[in-house]
Amino acid sequence: MTDQPIRRALLSVSDKAGLIELARFLADRGVELLSTGGSAKLIADEGIPVREVADYTGFPEMMDGRVKTLHPKVHGGLLGLRDKHADAMAQHEIGAIDLLVVNLYPFEATVARGADFETCIENIDIGGPAMIRSAAKNHHFVTVVVSPDDYRAVMDDMAANNGATTLATRRRLAAVAYGRTASYDSAISGWFAGQLGDTFPERLTIAGTRRQTLRYGENPHQQAAFYVSGDERPGVATARQLQGKELSYNNLNDTDAAYEAVAEFDPAETPAVVIVKHANPCGVAIAPSMAEAYRRALACDPVSAFGGIIALNRTLDGETAAEIAKIFTEVIIAPDATDEAREIIAGKKNLRLLLAGGLPDPAAPGMTVKSVAGGYLLQNRDNGRVFREGLKVVTKRAPTERELTDLLFAFRVCKHVKSNTIVYVKDGATVGVGAGQMSRVDSARIAARKAIDAAEANGYPEPLTKGSVVASDAFFPFADGLLAAADAGATAVIQPGGSMRDQEVIDAADAAGLAMVFTGMRHFRH
């Protein structure tokens, strides 16, 4: 028989949402209710018959509630195989528990609110995971529920099957249950490692909660889903989508790249706009107004910007929204938006507008994970930043104040462009971006070529790389990449340095009249 009647249920939850509705449903169908602590009191206060677990087991709660469900009458009732262990259960007066409803102590929420070490330890649930695992293992006979989101499914199943649940329902819920205990243990493991300063523990655990099943992955033949980690870093995981169709895998990936890039620019200092296409910035600019920053970012590569992702570091205003609405855009993400801006964007029904509520801190620590065949690569997030006091002038000519400002801007941008990276900047805006090439000289030439195309598209008399500065995410291994930038019109260079041929490159810069600074920090991005 695959349908299992529910005659006795144990309800013990920290999240009380939906508990009374479920308890009343069960009681109305003659199910005996067992419960503990606050759950039992809440049920009893509603006039619903309920029996305390301590009364059921004949063993009192003790040790500040640490020991209450860790008892043979509970675990025997959950683990006992009804077709094999009936004699043992009868001999030891162990009644079958057919339904377990448990959600765990709020460990993750306790950590998120910054509680001290001992408080976090006290919010590690022991009895809950033990019961969940027992019930999930014995799902052929026992229904286990770990989230209020599944109460309705159980009630519907029982209503349709004369008070019983189906094997299909129990198997699905068992899988959900093991996922929950695994993610719970993962959260504890990660927190404990962090408390000990163990950045790379011996065993890596990664947990997430599915936010969305996506239409497909990078390509239509790939399946995909979006999971959230619980990290409150502002971005795609925290944003509210005000309008537009469902976000795709590529939308989410590109929007994350755009928002992380625009966060490099302090909104208290200046408005900034980043336009991303295929995970690479194709236009970045700062300006006195957000609308002007957008226009300048768009001018860098108006062709690539079509169908792109736009990220702002300040509230989206009406003027900027009207400018963005002039071309096809997939997604806008900003900390907030004015009512006027929302009304304008509402006229573009397919344009997604995401409000993240804040900006991520580009200097904050964190980890990134990349899968490889048979394993994972784990590293610290690239939160390195370069400031003018850390620069080393290596050429005969030092950069001017204008060049220095643009050099720092350019190096901050190239951190978010796929390697090999060359970025040309002029007056606080990118004017050429070369991304993802196998040789640095090719990136320099492609960026210059795109600047020529942008000049033609915008009606400029010459490419804006004339009189620009150039940034390289890593050192120039030969002088050819630097000379290509000089040919494009760059007057100053910022790069990490560290090549065996640094002096050859410095000499070439001096011969071309370029100013060049070394950062001592590179920004590979693969």
Query: Do 487 and 496 contact (CB within 8 A), yes or no?
Result: no
The H or E element that residue 151 is part of is helix 151-160
CB environment 115-141: b (16+ within 10 A), e (fewer)? eeeeebeebbbebbbbbbbbbbebbeb
Using omega within 30 degrees of 0 as the cis cutoff, is the peptide bond preceding 420 cis?
yes
Q: Which of 85, 137, 348, 466 is catalytic?
A: 137
- Residues 230 and 356: their CA atoms lie apart, in Å, by 15
Longest dimension (CA), the chain: 96
Q: Are 269 and 243 in contact (CB under 8 A)?
A: no
Neighbours of 71 (CB within 10 A): 18
Annotated catalytic residue, options 68, 73, 140, 278:
278
Helices (H), 307-349: 318-324, 339-346
Phi and psi based region of residue 256 (left: phi greater than 0; alpha: psi -120 to 50; beta: remaining): alpha
Phi-psi label, residue 195: left if phi above 0, alpha if psi -120 to 50, beta otherwise:
alpha
User: What is the rounded (10 degree) CA torsion for 40, 46, 47, 49?
Assistant: -30
CA distances from 32 to 7, 36, 148, 407 (A): 6, 14, 20, 72
Q: Which two tokens stand for residue 230?
A: 């619980």
Rounded to whole angstroms, what are the CA distances from 149 to 16, 29, 130? 12, 21, 21
End-to-end CA distance of the chain: 54
**d(Cα 126, Cα 122) in Å, to the nearest integer?**
10
- Residue 6's nearest CA partner among 29, 24, 23 is 29
What DSSP character marks residue 248?
P
- CA 328 vs CA 239, 283, 310: distances in Å: 21, 15, 11
Active site residue 526: no
73 as an active site residue: the answer is no
Residues in the chain, total: 526
Q: Which residue has the tokens 């560290």?
A: 498
Q: What does the alpha-carbon distance between residue 212 and residue 352 come to, in Å, rounded to a whole number?
A: 16
Cα 514 to Cα 508: distance, rounded to the nearest angstrom:
9
Residues marked active site are found at 137, 278
